[in-house]
Amino acid sequence: MAMLDEAKKLGLNQKEYEEIVKTLKREPNFIELGMYSVMWSEHCSYKNSKTYLKKFPTKGERVLVGPGENAGIVDIGDGLAVVLKIESHNHPSAIEPYQGAATGVGGIIRDIVAMGARPVALLDSLRFGELKNPRVKYLFNNVVAGIGDYGNSVGIPTVGGETYFSDEYEENPLVNAMCVGIIKIDEIKKGTAKGVGNSVMLVGALTGRDGIHGASFASEELSEDSKEKRPSVQVGDPFMEKLLIEACLEVLKYDFVVGIQDLGAAGLTSACSETASRAGTGIEIDVDLVPKREEGMTPYEVMLSESQERMLLIVKEGYEERVIDAFKKWDLNAVKIGRVTDDGMLRVLENGKKVAEVPAKSLAEGAPVVIHEIIEPEVKRELNNDDIKIPGDLNEVFKKLLSLPNIADKSYIFSQYDYMVRTDTVVPPGSDAAVLRIKGTKKGIALTCDCNAFYCYLDPYEGGKQAVAEAARNIVVSGAKPLAITDCLNFGNPEKNEVIYQFVKSIEGMAEAAEYLKIPVVSGNVSFYNESKNKAVLPTPVVGMVGLIEDISKHTNMAFKKRGDLVILIGENTDELGGSEYIKNIHNIRYGRPPKVDLKKEKMVQEFCLKAIELGLINSAHDVSEGGLAVALAECAILGGLGFKGEIFTDLREDAVLFGEAQSRIIISIDEAEFPTLKRLADEEGIILKVIGFVDKDDFEIVIRNNNRVSKIALSLKEITNIWRNSLKWSLEK
Amino acid sequence: MRCAVIVFPGSNCDVDCFYVLRDVLGQNTDYVFHKEKFSPNDFDLIVLPGGFSYGDYLRAGAIARFSNAMESVIRASEKGKLVLGICNGFQILLEAGLLEGAMMKNKDLKFHCHDVYLKVENNSTPFTKLYRENEIIRMPIAHGYGNYYASPETIEKLVTRKQIVFTYCDEEGNLTEKANPNGSVRNIAGICNENRNVLGLMPHPERCAEEILKNTDGKKLFESILEYTKGGLFGGNA
């Protein structure tokens, strides 16, 4: 039973160990055990999550490749397709933020290249603790620098993302990187080891001792000892990645490359077993042939190394020289390390002698699924609006909200990223979604990622629904039709009932919205064990979304365009206060219900807005989200360099109208002459819209009239601009 | 006009420069891989694009200058052919000694990607003829090593010989410290050689040469080159 103890040390449990013995019909040796331990870690096997992920709608007429491959692919017409994937790199970033974030970016890029696509854009969804903590500042600065240095160097623009701050992430920040690529449909590649006798080639960087057991490390909670796992964090080389991308895309044009897989978590073990498993074949490799960074590496180390910037190619027998030559052009290694077999085994040789032999399918897909008992936790405290006093000075409240790091301008972050390289960025970061043109066509794509984790904490089902609805709204206000979702589900320890409950309910909410809005989920990633000091992070199911613009000249952004334009609210205000930044920061209340999404209304509002944009009626459009109507209007004004003057007649309390975060609302500005057409269209579609003011020069003023009560925000554009633009920088410099 | 865009390992604005020259301006354009050599008569314009040649691991541009292609670039420049170095290309020109001075890390040690205002200090170069003198234009920057430095004597020489072509300024054209994104001495954003046929600049004109990108201030730089090579501006090819 010595091996069982070893297995437990590597993170496998008794049941899993017994399953391995049953499959092999013998005890595994140490190398085999190591391979199983990484492949059956949560990070690689999805053993805690795959049952629930089936709830997502994954089909649609445009879906070419759904979940299960390196990335999802959707058809955008003209023989082209968009490739998308998001992935977490949370644990590495918690202990080595610069390299953790950098290699997160590197890994997600290779997932896109592995489909044969040219990566064209990066996005990042980040979560940190509050910036008053010096270690959080350190994590923040280094994560941003790591993302920037890697993305900037490989020449893929970082065009968008989101960043939120909340105490729960203090020791366990979330770093989710999303990459989007464009591909000709007839050049799509798969991660399969097809064709018995074909060569297995390893290309790119040398294999070193870095990152061994990274996948297992990502499958446990962070603790005091986590710092000792720093060697589990890989080191990135964006220059090598850039060369690897170019060389791979050159050879992937040819049919003699039959399969490709990137080496990420669990390195060679994962790449070999997954490609063989997908094809129903086996692979035999000799670790002696693997080009190594240092001498004396054991087969165990070679098989588990997570050295970055490597790819596995499956090449038709006889064409190896062609691949070697193509890589030589870029001064890169390309070495045949083995061949595809017909016996379904992943066989590892060392200098011709067998050192490990396990069924590829068992490694890649055989981890026993964990069954959870899911019990609804105690209902949280309800919020009663009557207990909340309406503040007297709305200007002060408004200024406070604009200064919150969750709301203030994020250009401090994205100006450290090259968001323009490749010259496709038509709408840069800072608007609801980034918009990219596709050269050689009239088309464009809109990209965003979204999640309000506090909503999910208050109600994971509604929060999940809202994340999808808001991402879609961000895509729509940019003039695009939502196409597909890639999701990154960041949660705590799934063995805890409260966490698995949040996980399952979030998925249900997301799935319902995705189904209703007809936006399939085509790829994704799960990250559990985001805990420290026994406390889970907020449930954070990040929704990455891509939309299609048929005619790029019809795109929009949120900035007001011209003085005198009418400002119109599509959708309805409500008295919902729960979950808002206002109630959290002004009243210090962290309970209640998040705003509800009525999917029917949501869909109508989105379809109406998109139609109006396509008809060319609208000059700007912006989704109302954190901070409510007042903040949304301020963002339109500040980005346009123009003021706003408005008056809202209502029966609702003024704080709810101004700062409540009721869903399915969009602010647009239009030329007055277009109003009759817009109104007619709205009436036909049964859409409620209200003129709430007009674009002004230097003032920012919102008057709320509730019968005889009059309250208002009145500030100069200059003042709100200064607060919103600089607050994040000020918090960092404090 | 026959144009070359040099591709170093790690170049990443090569495709952008190529696109502007071939697709926006409609010129005959080739990529030249760093391992290749060419003759001075092969091209009228040679562009050294932005990016991170050789990862910039030693010093930005320090290794690229030893490549085969750079030997040919130097020879072509000696024959009076036009050489344009953008961002990393500017750094390579400095390392290769085609332009004077050196580049340091940005003053705040951060990468900067945003629009800046530039003042056209010299409009009598083949690259700037279509701009007005002292015209204020807007161009994006994207660099971590753009802090230009040269000795006071060199700067003095650059000033007297009118080799300073672009400077960072505010919207009104004042060369303020605030308008200087990287700490460059005298707010220098771009310089040329004495013969006016080699220009290096940190901002990216190829990123603002189309309506769809909402800024065309960079297009005039390429159009100036085109006019010049056609002989329209100086009455003949150099």
A684 three-state secondary structure: helix
B16 to A423: CB separation less than 8 angstroms, yes or no: yes
Residue B66: its pLDDT value, please? 86
Residue A210: its pLDDT value, please? 81
B113 to A415: CB separation less than 8 angstroms, yes or no: yes
Inform me whether the C-beta atom of residue B131 falls under 8 Å from chain A C-beta atoms: no
Inform me whether the C-beta atom of residue B52 falls under 8 Å from chain A C-beta atoms: yes
Per-residue pLDDT tens over the stretch A471-488 = 999 999 999 999 999 999
Q: How confident is the model at residue B238 (pLDDT cuts 50, 70, 90)?
A: very low
For all residues of chain B together, what is the average pLDDT? Answer: 94
Residue A499: its pLDDT value, please? 94
Q: What is the mean pLDDT of residues B187-193?
A: 98
* Rounded Cα gap, residues B87 and B190, in angstroms: 10
Q: Which CATH architecture has domain A189-364?
A: Alpha-Beta Complex (3.90)
Residue A18 to residues A27, A40, A367, A444, A687, Cα–Cα distance (Å)? 9, 13, 11, 52, 60
Per-residue pLDDT tens over the stretch A492-503 = 999 999 999 999
CA angle A121, B84, B41 (to 5 degrees): 120
Instruction: Please give, rounded to a whole number of angstroms, the shortest distance from the CA of B214 to a CA of chain A.
Output: 8
Instruction: Please give, rounded to a whole number of angstroms, the shortest distance from the CA of B209 to a CA of chain A.
Output: 10
Per-residue pLDDT tens over the stretch B42-90 = 999 999 999 998 888 877 788 888 899 999 999 999 999 999 999 999 9
B147 three-state secondary structure: strand
Residue A264: its pLDDT value, please? 84
R_g over Cα of chain A: 26
Residue A217: its pLDDT value, please? 66
Inform me whether the C-beta atom of residue B109 falls under 8 Å from chain A C-beta atoms: no
| Residue pointed to by tokens 């094809």 | A279
Contact B103, B190 (CB under 8 A): no
Instruction: Give yes or no: A43 in active site.
Output: yes
Residues of chain A where predicted confidence (pLDDT) is lower than 50: none
Residue B105: its pLDDT value, please? 96
Asked if A189-364 and A556-734 have one fold, the answer is yes
* Rounded Cα gap, residues A642 and A701, in angstroms: 12
B57 to A243: CB separation less than 8 angstroms, yes or no: no
B113 to A419: CB separation less than 8 angstroms, yes or no: yes
B chain contacts of residue A728, beta-carbon cutoff 8 Å = none
The ipTM of this complex is: 0.95
* Rounded Cα gap, residues B174 and B171, in angstroms: 8
Closest-approach residue (CA) in chain A for B215: A426
Inform me whether the C-beta atom of residue B218 falls under 8 Å from chain A C-beta atoms: no
Residue A206: its pLDDT value, please? 94
Catalytic residues of B: 87, 204, 206
Contact B8, B233 (CB under 8 A): no
B113 to A418: CB separation less than 8 angstroms, yes or no: yes
Pick B113's closest partner by Cβ from A145, A417, A422. A417
CA angle A669, A672, A675 (to 5 degrees): 85
Output DSSP code: residue B165.
E
What are the DSSP calls for A554-586, one per residue?
G---SS--STT-EEEEES------TT-HHHHHT
Output DSSP code: residue B23.
I
Domain boundaries, chain A: 1-37, 189-364, 556-734
pTM over 0.90: yes
Query: A414, A423, A552: which to substitute to probe chain B, counting the most B Cβ within 10 Å?
Result: A423
Contact B95, B8 (CB under 8 A): no
Pick A242's closest partner by Cβ from B12, B114, B214. B12
Q: Left if phi > 0, otherwise alpha if psi is -120 to 50, otherwise beta: which for A619?
A: alpha
Beginning with the edge strand found earlier in the chain, give each strand of the sheet holding B112-120 in spatial order: B28-33, B2-7, B45-48, B82-86, B198-201, B188-192, B164-169, B112-120, B136-143
B55 to A237: CB separation less than 8 angstroms, yes or no: yes
Inform me whether the C-beta atom of residue B210 falls under 8 Å from chain A C-beta atoms: yes
Sign of torsion over alpha carbons B181, B187, B193, B199: positive
Residue B236: its pLDDT value, please? 42
Give the N- to C-terminal CA distance of chain B in Å, as an integer.
13
* Rounded Cα gap, residues B125 and B238, in angstroms: 12
B16 to A422: CB separation less than 8 angstroms, yes or no: yes
Fold of B2-230: Rossmann fold (3.40.50)
Residue B15: its pLDDT value, please? 98
Fold of A556-734: Phosphoribosyl-aminoimidazole Synthetase; Chain A, domain 2 (3.90.650)
Closest-approach residue (CA) in chain B for A438: B212
Inform me whether the C-beta atom of residue B57 falls under 8 Å from chain A C-beta atoms: yes
Residue B63: its pLDDT value, please? 87
Contacting B with CB below 8 Å, chain A residues are: 145, 148-149, 152-155, 237-240, 242-243, 329-331, 411, 414-423, 425-426, 437, 439, 552-553
What are the DSSP calls for A326-353, one per residue?
HHHHTT-EEEEEEEEESS-EEEEEETTE
Q: Report whether pLDDT(B121) > 70.
A: yes
Work out the angle between the directed axes of helices A628-640 and A717-733 (0-180°, nearest 10).
100
Query: A241, A420, A732: which to substitute to probe chain B, counting the most B Cβ within 10 Å?
Result: A420
B chain contacts of residue A414, beta-carbon cutoff 8 Å = 113
* Rounded Cα gap, residues A89 and A579, in angstroms: 27
Instruction: Give yes or no: A555 in active site.
Output: no
Residue A228: its pLDDT value, please? 65
Inform me whether the C-beta atom of residue B161 falls under 8 Å from chain A C-beta atoms: no
Residue A376: its pLDDT value, please? 83
B chain contacts of residue A437, beta-carbon cutoff 8 Å = 212
